[in-house]
Structures are given as structure tokens and as C-alpha cells.
């Protein structure tokens, strides 16, 4: 209990459709209830969209000071990309707004495009994102149907694996720098292929040296925590 309250790192496997805020709150209130605390310091090191799953690092107590350092760490994601169609949000949050041909896309073209998306790059974040411009979140403007110029940002793709798994689907694994929007990467890959694309699934598997293989689902974490068996060094560091 003492290390949990004073400060530690907790690795959570965020479920689909949960917000990062929900995951943090779920554990926060369970811990506060268990130990009858009036307040408890906890935060996460890097948001995951509700449509994404995978590694979410939670920091408690004095370890919340490590959040900026953890946010700066490179990350690894896996997922799938649908070819031949785009959406305004670059993922499944919004409906398809345009369709494109895919018959010309060969394995050789996919390999060529893959090489284009490795190294130091500039990227435009999606309009459907939490980035602020003139005091407003971009997604607030997007949902009103307003458009605005989104500033480019510098990112690094350390490694990108692309594989065609169906006529109109790619699977991927990407090792990237902080600030990389995988939705934008999917969108840009579609354009580079002379078609369109959007993200259909996303899972974060690693942040720095921390792996999702060592993480617990929120409910499983709480169950073990309440049963006094939460002393697994893989989960609480």
C-alpha cells in the first residue's frame, strides 16, 4: 500500500472504447475506496484514443513527476489500415467521405511507400484531434464542420513494417517518436499509394522499455488489488 500511495508506476492494458481518463479514474476511485483516502495523486503518461487499445502508463504519488519523461519516450504501435476509402477523422470515428481505386497497388508499391515513411518526417495532425489552436481544440472545430490550417510537426519513424493482409487492408507495426499521429500516418500512406486509407484498429504495445505484455486490464488490476495479491513486479514498478 505504502509504495502505491507514495509513488509507483502501474502498467494498464486499456480496453477498446475506454478513454484514458476513464481508465485513470477507475483505478483512482478503487484505490481511494479501498484505503479510505480523501485524495490520491495519479495521472497517465500519454493519451490513447477510445478506439485504440494497449499500454497506458499510470503514475502515482511522487512518480507523477516522471510523466513528462515517459511521454517523451518512443512508442510502438500495431494495427490495420483500410485501403480505398478515407474518413474525416482518419479512423472509424466518422463515416467514409470518399472512395479511391486500389487495383494498382502492388507489393512493390507498398514496399516503396514504406521506405518513404521511415526517418525524420513532417506530419499534419488530424483535424479531429485534441491539439489547441487559438484556444480551441481542433476536434471542436471539426465537429462544427469548420476547417482550419493545421501546423506541421516534426516526427521520427524509427521502423515501419507494412504487410498486405487482404485486397484492401494493410497490417502494420511502427516504432515512432512522441507526437506521432498514427491516424495521420495511415492517411498519408493511402495518399502515397495513389489511393485513400483510414485507420481501422490500433494497439500500443510499448512505451520506452515498458511493454503491454506486462500490463493488466483495469478490472483485473482492481480484482488483484482488492484481493491483496497485487505485488507482481511486472505491473507495479
| Section 67-80 average pLDDT | 97
Query: Residue 67: phi, psi to the nearest 5?
Result: -55, -50
| Section 65-82 average pLDDT | 97
Can you give the residue ranges of every domain in the chain? Answer: 2-72+209-226, 75-207
Give me the pLDDT at residue 231, please: 47
Residue 31 β-bridge partners: none
Measured at the CA of 75, the angle between CA 62 and CA 72, to 5 degrees, comes to 45
Please determine, looking at this structure, whether the domain spanning 75-207 carries the CATH number 3.30.2350.10: yes
- For the question of residue 49 being annotated catalytic, the response is yes
84-135 confidence digits (pLDDT tens): 999 999 999 999 999 999 999 999 999 999 999 999 999 988 876 656 555 5
Query: Residue 155: phi, psi to the nearest 5?
Result: -135, 170
| Single pTM value for the model | 0.90
Inter-residue contact 86 to 168 (CB < 8 Å): no
CATH superfamily placement of domain 2-72+209-226: Pseudouridine synthase (3.30.2350.10)
Confidence class of residue 227 from pLDDT cuts 50, 70 and 90?
low
Terminal Cα distance for the chain, rounded: 13
3-state secondary structure of 59: strand
Domain 2-72+209-226 and domain 75-207 have a common topology = yes
Give me the pLDDT at residue 226, please: 63
Q: What is the 3-state secondary structure (H, E, C) of 73-140?
A: CCEEEEEEEEECEECCCCCCCCCCCEECCCCCCCHHHHHHHHHHCCEEEEECCCCCCCCEECCEEHHH
Which member of 13, 49, 91, 188 is catalytic? 49
Question: Do β-strands 132-133 and 7-14 pair in parallel, antiparallel, or remain unpaired?
Answer: unpaired
Amino acid at each position: 500500500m505504502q509504495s502505491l500511495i507514495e509513488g509507483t508506476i502501474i502498467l494498464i492494458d486499456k480496453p477498446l472504447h475506454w478513454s484514458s481518463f476513464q481508465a485513470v479514474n477507475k483505478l483512482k476511485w478503487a484505490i481511494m475506496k479501498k484505503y479510505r483516502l480523501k485524495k490520491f495523486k495519479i495521472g497517465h503518461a500519454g493519451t490513447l484514443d477510445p478506439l485504440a487499445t494497449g499500454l497506458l502508463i499510470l503514475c502515482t504519488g511522487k512518480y507523477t513527476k516522471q510523466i513528462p519523461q515517459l511521454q517523451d519516450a518512443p512508442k510502438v504501435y500495431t494495427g490495420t489500415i483500410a485501403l480505398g476509402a478515407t474518413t474525416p477523422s482518419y479512423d472509424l470515428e466518422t463515416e467514409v467521405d470518399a472512395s479511391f481505386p486500389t487495383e494498382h497497388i502492388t507489393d512493390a508499391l507498398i514496399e516503396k511507400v514504406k521506405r518513404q515513411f521511415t526517418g525524420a518526417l513532417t506530419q499534419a495532425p488530424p483535424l479531429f484531434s485534441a491539439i489547441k489552436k487559438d484556444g480551441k481544440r481542433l476536434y471542436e472545430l471539426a465537429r462544427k464542420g469548420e476547417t482550419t490550417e493545421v501546423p506541421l510537426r516534426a516526427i521520427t519513424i524509427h521502423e515501419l513494417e507494412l504487410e498486405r493482409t487482404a485486397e484492401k487492408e494493410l497490417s502494420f507495426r511502427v516504432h515512432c517518436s512522441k507526437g506521432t499521429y498514427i491516424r495521420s500516418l495511415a492517411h498519408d500512406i493511402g495518399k502515397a499509394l495513389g489511393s485513400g486509407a483510414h485507420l481501422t484498429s490500433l494497439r500500443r504495445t510499448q512505451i520506452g522499455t515498458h511493454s503491454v505484455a506486462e500490463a493488466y486490464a483495469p478490472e483485473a488490476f482492481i480484482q488483484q488489488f482488492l484481493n491483496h495479491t497485487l505485488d507482481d513486479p511486472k505491473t507495479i514498478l
